[in-house]
Structure 1
Amino acid sequence: MKHRTLGIGTALLAATAAGTLAMAPAAHAVDPTTATLSFDCGSFGSGEATLTATQDGTAATISLSTSAITSPFTISANSVKSTLTLTKNGSGTTTFTGNANPEIPAGGAVSTGPLNGTVATGDSLEATSLTVVVFGITATCNATSPQNPGPFVF
């Protein structure tokens, strides 16, 4: 008798789990998750940048590290204000903003993010410019190459 009850209980549990998985919302993912491009930041320098994107529903973040800007002195955590501008679906623009950064040592490459933005399913975003403000000093960087391997598609 116990084997029969165990068998029915296991079958019910498996059916419930399958039904729960079928009703769960589809996971959102960005592709690619990492891209590189080059920036020219005028008198602050030029170099390659690595962008890493994540998505959670309509909320998305992009973290960025670039050798185009190096710090002449140590910058404490969360003191870099950044705005990353991206082309949206080939015609409009959108921005990702934030003031999160790790501590950056003197001579170190600038890292910033996560920068926060909003996306819709199917949005294709490619970085075009970056503005970084540290201690009231603004560095504006313009993309000099397309993202590789391509735009972020959410």
Structure 2
Amino acid sequence: MRSRSSLGIVAALSGALAASALAFAPGAAAVSPGSATATYDCGAWGGGGATLTATQSGTAATITLTSAVKTPIAVGADQISATLTMAKAGGGTRVFSGKKNPALAANQSVTIGPLSGTVASGDSLNSYFAGTALKMVIFGVTVNCDALTSQSPGPFVFS
């Protein structure tokens, strides 16, 4: 009998500790807005609107970009090296990079990401600044894209 009551007390205490741990656990980090649009000019490769989607887990963040720029030839999965430079409010930049893309058919809109980067709580990032916002290397050819507009509805703010 004693072992049953001891077991019950241990189970109750374990449950209470687990519940209190959840109550004091830090909340999941979030970025707002989760997605934004901007217009880019990629020179001879074209240009137009793009959608940027951001996620955050602590100080790690990712951005995926789907653009109006179309690849003239088919590109296999993970064949585009990309660097997205974001201007940080107050000065400086944050860089997101990677070699992640789905397989793309000829004349298909380019999707890149998720590109990985590091952020700090309170970072407000926008791809619109003086300089190349997006650099892609496709089959050894460098494609530079300048942001022509600020992100709408606004910059990404990381918590």
Give the aligned length. 150
Provide the rounded CA distance (Å) in 1 between the counterparts of 2:15 and 2:99: 46
Gaps of 5+ in 2: none
Q: How does 1:44-63 map to 2 (within 5 A)?
A: 44-63=45-64
Equivalent residue runs for 1:87-106 within 5 Å: 87-106=87-106
- Mapped partners of 2:89, 2:104: distance in 1: 33
Whether 1:142 aligns to 2:142 is: no
Give the root-mean-square deviation of aligned CA atoms: 1.9
TM-score by length of 1: 0.88
1:38 is aligned to: 39
Counterpart CA distance in 2 for 1:13 and 1:81 is 49
Cα deviation, 1:43-70, whole Å, max 9, x if unaligned, reads: 1111001001111111100011101x21
8 Å CA contact retained: 2:94, 2:119: no
Structure 2 contact 84–134 (Cα < 8 Å) conserved: yes
Partner of 2:32: helix, strand, or coil? Answer: coil
Between the aligned partners of 1:31 and 1:127, the Cα distance in structure 2 is 15
AA aligned to 1:44 is W
2:49 counterpart letter in structure 1: E
CA distance in 2 between partners of 1:109 and 1:90 (Å): 33
- TM-score normalised according to structure 2 size: 0.86
Quote the Cα distance in structure 2 between the aligned partners of 1:116 and 1:9.
44
Aligned to 1:72: 72
What is the Cα deviation at residue 10 of structure 1?
A: 8.4
Identity of aligned residues (%): 51
AA partner of residue 88 (structure 1): K
1:60-102 alpha-carbon deviations (Å, 9 max, x no partner): 00011101x2111110000001010100124211210000000
Separation in 1 of the partners of 2:24 and 2:37?
Answer: 37
Aligned-partner Cα distance in 2 for 1:44–1:73:
12
Q: Alpha-carbon deviations, 1:93-138, whole Å to 9, x = none?
A: 1210000000011000111101010001111111131111100111
| Separation in structure 1 between the aligned mates of residue 120 and residue 70 of structure 2, nearest angstrom | 34
Secondary structure at 2:31 match in 1: coil
Q: Is the 8 A contact 2:35 2:51 kept in 1?
A: yes
Equivalents in 2 of 1:103, 1:134: separation in Å? 13
| SS in structure 2 at match of 1:21 | helix
State the alpha-carbon separation in 1 of the partners of residues 12 and 97 from structure 2: 50
SS at structure 2 position matched to 1:96: strand
Task: Quote the residue 2:116 is aligned against.
Answer: 116
